[in-house]
Chains A and B, each alone.
Chain A
Amino acid sequence: MENATETVAKGSEKDREPEDKHEHEPKSFEVIIIYNGVKKPLKVNRDEGMKQVLDRAIALFGSLPNPHTLALFTESGHELPITGTVKEAGLKPDEKLLLRPSTVRGG
C-alpha cells in the first residue's frame, strides 16, 4: 500500500521550477493555504524555512491536534519539503498550497 504514495510523490517533483527563476520575484509574498475546503492567505518570506511555513499554515486553522500528520502539497500533488527555504522550494506568489494529511488510511 505504501508504494502508491511514493510513486505519486516522485512523479510530481519535476513540476517545481529551479530557484534561479525566482530572482526577480518579491522578497515576501502571499500564498493561499487550503484546508478542508477553506482558503486562507499566508504571507511568506523567500528566506523563511519551510518548516516555519508549515507551522504557520497549520496555525491559520486553529489548534489542530496531531499537526505532524499534515504536510503542504502543490496543486499538482507534490509534497513540499520541511527542510530548506521558500526560495529553494520554488513557491510563487498567489500559489495554492494544500494543507492535508500525507496519508489517509484505516483498518
Chain B
Amino acid sequence: MRYQISAKLLSKTFDHFRKCGKGRHECQALWTSAWRDPKIITEVVHPAHIADVGGYLVDQKWLNSFWLALAENDRGVRVQVHTHPREAFHSQSDDAFPIIHVPGFLSLVIPNFALGPVGFRGAYLTEIQPDGRWQQVDPNERLKIS
C-alpha cells in the first residue's frame, strides 16, 4: 500500500523530533489514519516516552490509553517514525519492538535527529514481510507527500 501524507503533517513530525529530541535524543512519532480510508494519513501522534542518544522507550500507561483511543476513533497506526543520531537504518531493537507487527507495517527512520531538510533524504524505510522479517523499501514507492 502507498500512503499519502500532507507536507504539513510531515513538517509537524519533524517539529516534534526537533523540539523533543533537541538534537541530543532519539524521538518517535506515529502516523495514523482512519480504517475507512487507511491510505490517507491524517494524524501525527507524539507518544510519551523516555529517550537518550541511542534509543527510546514508549511509556506503558500512555500506550494503553492510546490503544483505547484508536479503537474509540476507528483509527489505526500505519507508520512508526523515529530518529537516529547519524545514519538511518533499522537496529535490532527497532526490528524486535515495533508498535505494530503485521505484514505491510512501515517503519521510517530519519537521520541526524531530523535536523536536516524536511523530507526523506537519507531516510530508511522498511516494511514487515509476511514471514515477520523486515525488508527495506523505497520511501517514494510507499509514501507520497501531497
Contacts and interface: CB of A to CB of B under 8 A. Distances in A.
Interface string A42-86: 000000000000000000011111100110010111000000000
A73 B59 CA distance: 14
A100 interface: yes
A104 B131 CA distance: 20
A107 B26 contact: yes
27 contacts: A4-B50, A5-B57, A8-B60, A8-B61, A9-B60, A34-B67, A34-B68, A36-B76, A36-B100, A37-B35, A37-B71, A37-B76, A38-B71, A39-B71, A65-B103, A65-B131, A75-B64, A96-B71, A98-B67, A98-B68, A100-B64, A103-B97, A104-B97, A105-B56, A105-B57, A106-B55, A107-B56
B143 interface: no
A37 B70 CA distance: 4
Contact of A101 (B56, B97, B133): B97
Interface of B: 26, 28, 35, 47, 50, 54-61, 63-64, 67-68, 70-71, 73-77, 80, 82, 91, 93-94, 96-103, 128-133
Given A8-B60, A65-B132, A101 B99 contact: yes
Contacts of A103: 57, 97
Given A98-B67, A106-B80, 16 more contacts: A8-B60, A37-B71, A64-B102, A65-B102, A65-B130, A66-B101, A77-B64, A96-B71, A100-B64, A101-B101, A103-B97, A104-B47, A104-B63, A105-B56, A105-B97, A106-B98
Contact of A65 (B28, B68, B101): B101
B101 A106 contact: no
A96 B68 contact: yes
Given A37-B73, A69-B97, A107 B68 contact: no
Contact of A61 (B47, B55, B73, B102): B102
A34 B35 CA distance: 14
Given A104-B99, A107-B55, A36 B64 contact: no
A5 B75 CA distance: 25
Contacts of B130: 63, 65
Nearest to A32: B71
Given A34-B71, A37-B73, A66-B132, A73 B64 contact: yes
